[in-house]
Structure 1
Amino acid sequence: MTGAHWAVIGVLAIAAFSIRVVGLIAGGRIRASRHAWVLDELPGLIIICLVTSSLAGQPLQTWIAAGAALGVAVFTNHVIATMTVGVLVFAGLAMIGI
């Protein structure tokens, strides 16, 4: 490996370490502020962002299955039931051709 390769590896290592340090510092400051509630809600917000971005551009069949899964999640708060209903609705809609 050349010196350029080692330089890139070094820069990336420093960047990765810096991101973690900045996250720790920012997290500590947020916990001490009036915005601490954001950290409590962050895992759910990340999941919502991932799900909605994956639904963008999907056909109606996927949206209906996601809606059914959301309904089950709201009423049961059970992950396995939510996944099962979502998959079954999606498969059922695929069988009938929607």
Structure 2
Amino acid sequence: MSFPFWMLIVVLAVAAFSIRVLGLFAGDTIRSSRFSWVLDELPGLIVVSLVASSLAGQSIGVWLAASAALVTAYFANHVILTMCVGVAAYGGLVWVGL
């Protein structure tokens, strides 16, 4: 491999390491500020944003299955049961033709 390839590898490695170190410093700064509640809610917010973006542009059947899963999650608070109800609802709606 030539010198430019090695330099690219080094620059990318330094950039990746720098992003992680800056994330640690930012997390410590946020943890000690009045906005520390954001870190507690962040995992749930990330999951909600991923689900919302994946539902955009889907058919009504997918939305109904997601609604069934949401209701199950709200009342049961059980991840496996929520997934099973969502998959079963989607399968049933596809079987019906919706």
Give me the TM-score of the superposition, normalised by structure 2.
0.98
Q: 1:31, 1:93 → 2: CA distance?
A: 45
User: Shift of residue 4 of structure 1?
Assistant: 1.2
Give me the TM-score of the superposition, normalised by structure 1.
0.98
Uncovered stretches (5+) of structure 1, i.e. residues with no partner:
none
Please report the RMSD computed on the Cα atoms of aligned residues, expressed in angstroms.
0.6
Structure 1 outlier segments of 4+, above 6 Å: none
Q: 1:78, 1:58 → 2: CA distance?
A: 25
Tell me the secondary structure at the aligned position of residue 17 of structure 2: helix
Name the structure 2 match of 1:70: 70
User: Shift of residue 57 of structure 1?
Assistant: 1.1
Percent identical pairs in the alignment equals 60
Alignment of 1:1-98 (within 5 A): 1-98=1-98
